[in-house]
Amino acid sequence: MRRLLGLVGASLLLLPAAVSAQTSQSISVTCDTGAEFDNGVEIIVGQIRSGFTYTATAIGLNGFDPVLAVLGEDGSGLCNDDDSVASIYAANLPTTGAVPSSNLSSQVTFHSTSDTGFQDISLVVGGFGGQQGEVVLILEGMGVTAADNAGDPFSVNITPEMVGAGVPLSLYMLTRGQSSVDPLIYMVDSEFNVITDDAGADIMCDDAGTTLCWGDSVDLSDYSVTIDTGTLPGWQYDAMLMLPLDNFVPDADRDFNFVNFLMTSYQNQTQGEYLLAFHFGIGDPVPVGTSTGGNGGIQPTPTTGK
């Protein structure tokens, strides 16, 4: 279980906090405010840059009350529940439908304090008191730049509770404001090689709703995410990648349960800010098994979009 300091304001540095042992699968967190969960889902934001500010916001669907923790590489961090700024956030996405604003939403604004210039940060979302439900996790502050190598790496640890919820893991990469970036999402292995399904098709998405996307996707022109500065509409070049978890067998070793993604643009030809949203569920855990590693137990198969 991780014990973290509660967040009163909206801005933070990643400061030391008392942290106890992590569970074998999901992450348990107890905030000093009394908020706690034992079904946390971890999303690692790889190599964020010092000097930039990022904001993570968790919005629950249908009354789900999310608690959000942000952890540094040493396991220290802060958490937040029921944030006033987050209460104006909303979403309307293909896999969620209209998600209204809620005073149960949580938010943490953070930046890296690493002396090396780069740092991995973990975003951990769970249900207050172990509650089950669905959540949209929004991340602001990301951007595709000329200095990027392969792209911005993200890793999602697929928990037994995520599989048990019966909800696909969906990723949305939306162009931010007047940015000129043309979003592109790849699913990759630990060496950044693009993963293919059993028909040999790359698991990726360039323009959602077209043949340039693997699996099921929808043109995002009629969808949006509302943040503190207003409503960010989607457009025809935004990316959506939906990964069914039906055939995912969680390994007893949670390190084998990570799936990796790269956020970039085609050949890095366009740059600019983007907003990232993850949609997933947290339900009753399924039994763990033994995976072969690599894809975290996922054996992707073609869906109707390919």
* Beta strands, E only, 61-111: 66-71, 77-81, 90-93, 97-99, 106-111
Rounded CA gap, 175 and 6, in Å?
32
How many residues are listed for the chain in this entry? 306
The answer as to whether 287 is a domain residue is: no
Distance CA 202, CA 237 (A): 18
Q: Which domain covers residue 25, as residue numbers?
A: 2-282
- Return the percentage of the chain with pLDDT > 90, whole number: 62
pLDDT tens column, 127-158: 999 999 999 999 999 888 777 677 889 999 99
Are the C-beta atoms of 6 and 32 separated by less than 8 Å?
yes
Q: Is residue 290 part of a domain?
A: no
Contact at 8 Å (CB) between 106 and 81? yes
The answer to whether position 66 is within a domain reads yes
Arithmetic mean of pLDDT, 93-118: 88
Residue 295: inside a domain: no
User: How many independent structural domains does the chain possess?
Assistant: 1
- Please count the other Cβ atoms lying within 10 Å of the Cβ belonging to residue 52: 11
Residue 18 domain flag:
yes
Q: What kind and span of H or E run contains 154?
A: strand 152-157
Q: What is the pLDDT of residue 258?
A: 95
Could you give the residue ranges of the DSSP H alpha helices within the chain?
A: 160-165
Q: Is residue 191 part of a domain?
A: yes
In whole angstroms, give the CA distance from residue 162 to residue 194. Answer: 23
Angle at 46 between CA 223 and CA 228, to 5 degrees: 40
Q: What is the pLDDT of residues 174-213, one digit of tens each?
A: 998 777 889 999 999 989 999 999 999 999 999 999 999 9
3-state secondary structure of 82: coil
pLDDT of residue 301: 46
DSSP-assigned letter for residue 152: E
Confidence of residue 280 (pLDDT cuts 50, 70, 90): very high
* pLDDT, position 127: 96
- Please report whether residue 37 resides in a domain: yes
The token pair that represents 208 in the structure block: 């959602």
C-alpha closest to that of 106 among 123, 84, 133? 84
> Does any domain span residue 111?
yes
